[in-house]
Amino acid sequence: MNKILSFFATGEDIEPIQDQATIDRLYKKYRLKVMLAITVGYGFAYPLRLAMNVVKKPLIDSGVFSAMDLGNIGSALLYAYALGKLTNGFLADHANVKRFFAFGVLMSAIVNIAMGWSTVLWIWIILWGFNGWFQGYGAPTGAVSLSNWYSNKERGLYYGIWSTAHAIGEGLTFVVTASIVSFWGWRAGFIGPGLFSIFVAYAIYLVMQDRPQTLGLPSIADWKNDHGAEDNKHANTRDAQKIILKSPAIWILGIASASMYMTRYAINSWGILYLQEAKGYSLIEAGGILGLNTLAGIIGCVAYGWISDKYFGAKRPPVTLLFGVIEIMALVVIFYLAPGHPIILTSAFFIYGFTLSGLLAALGGLFAIDIAPKKAAGAAMGVIGVFSYIGAGLQDQISGFLIDKNSMLVDGVMQYDFSTVIVYWIGSSIVSMILASTLWKIKVRE
């Protein structure tokens, strides 16, 4: 066990490099590599957690699982992810993120490959739960890397860039994985991304970097001359992590994030089924609409970070409120627009994806990292994560129950009624917006 822990532990600081030109050159080189690893690498590995969302209709139609079964399977991943994100968040503050992140992606890939070879409910629940745990390595390592390699005043923009990873992954899932399933069946939806992500894990290991000090570089605060009020206050990482658990703002932020994640995972988990059944789209058409929605999210993440940094002095609540109102309006159009208006529906999904991704960037971690000690960035991400994915897990079970309860078999064909569950999905976004608004006066660290 000691050997395992030492393998994953962050490296020792080495003798500092004295030549400023060398420091500048290496910092620019490694910052680019880190951003590529945590954004592109994470984005390419993200479909490993989303395959279930694409294969629901073939599994239900073939009688392999019911909607309730799939809700329970999906919630297993989300609950395990919540726990994994919490514990791995605290561990990531002490870890060599290069090894930590690559290992999580590799194990998630192996689990996905195994999913393609069974149709036993309890095996799926266990495997998908393990997948959630290993997926929980990604976000905390990204938060720690951002804190180590990007300074306070640039955090919003680069956090926004990093947050595009989930939009990249969702786009790949709803377009590429949906196409794979359409041509080769649901099993390929697990096995294909699993095989590909083995190579992704290796690439992450090659590109990712540990802390700057392990490479002989100064801290990012010293290099950028950007010292926040809390930078040197908590010399001990464990003491800094305790601050997180005692902060009321973190707890409110966690509940607001949980509510937003209910809406997010409702669309991710059930959106394709909804578009197929309520709007009459094919699997590839539904996947294309959701794929466009997630591509809009790439723009939204960067826009949120840039707007809040440049125009609001790194204050997140005003931009959060603006994005929240627009996101709710887009949801109303998506769910209550009559069928037969594809351009309006697609535009509403685009606006929803744009605003949702900005909200996820803020509520799901950026604001928490802003108000937390820098040495506890992973812990802050973990605490918010456990709220977020408990909310997402509850959503999968509640949505599965409501969809099953309001659906019936007519002439051998399942008829779905989404009227009740839609109210729940929109209501979650409204609750999130209200809670986030109570944090208006919370000060961001300088």
pTM score, whole prediction: 0.70
Q: Does the domain spanning 16-437 belong to CATH 1.20.1250.20?
A: yes
Residue 197's pLDDT is what?
92
* Rounded CA separation 139/128 (Å): 18
Query: Of the segments 25-34, 181-190, 225-234, 285-294, which one has the largest average pLDDT value?
Result: 25-34
- Closest Cα to residue 147, out of 416, 368, 400? 368
Domain map of the chain by residue range?
16-437
Residue 285's pLDDT is what?
84
* Rounded CA separation 180/207 (Å): 28
Angle, alpha carbons 131-51-35 (nearest 5°): 70
- Closest Cα to residue 255, out of 61, 425, 387, 122? 387
* Rounded CA separation 357/170 (Å): 11
Q: Are 351 and 332 in contact (CB under 8 A)?
A: no
Token match 């999913």: residue?
115
* Rounded CA separation 384/187 (Å): 33
DSSP state of 17: P
pLDDT in tens, 418-442: 888 899 999 999 999 999 888 887 7
Residue 389's pLDDT is what?
79
Structure tokens at 305: 């970070």
* Rounded CA separation 395/393 (Å): 5
Kindly report the number of other CB atoms within 10 A of residue 410's CB atom: 8
- Within 313-341, residue ranges assigned H as helices are 317-336
Phi and psi at residue 265, in whole multiples of 5°?
-80, -20
Amino acid at 299: I
* Rounded CA separation 67/15 (Å): 58
Burial (0-12, 13-18, 19+ Cβ within 10 Å), 369:
buried
Amino acid at 434: I
Query: If you average pLDDT over every residue of the chain, what do you get?
Result: 83
Q: How large is the average pLDDT for residues 7-34?
A: 85
Q: Per-residue confidence at 5, pLDDT binned at 50, 70, 90?
A: low
* Rounded CA separation 62/72 (Å): 18
Q: Does the structure show a pLDDT above 50 at 446?
A: no
Amino acid at 15: E
Determine which of 33-47, 51-65, 93-107, 319-333 has the lowest per-residue pLDDT on average. Answer: 51-65
313: left (phi over 0), alpha (psi -120 to 50) or beta: left
95: three-class secondary structure by DSSP? strand
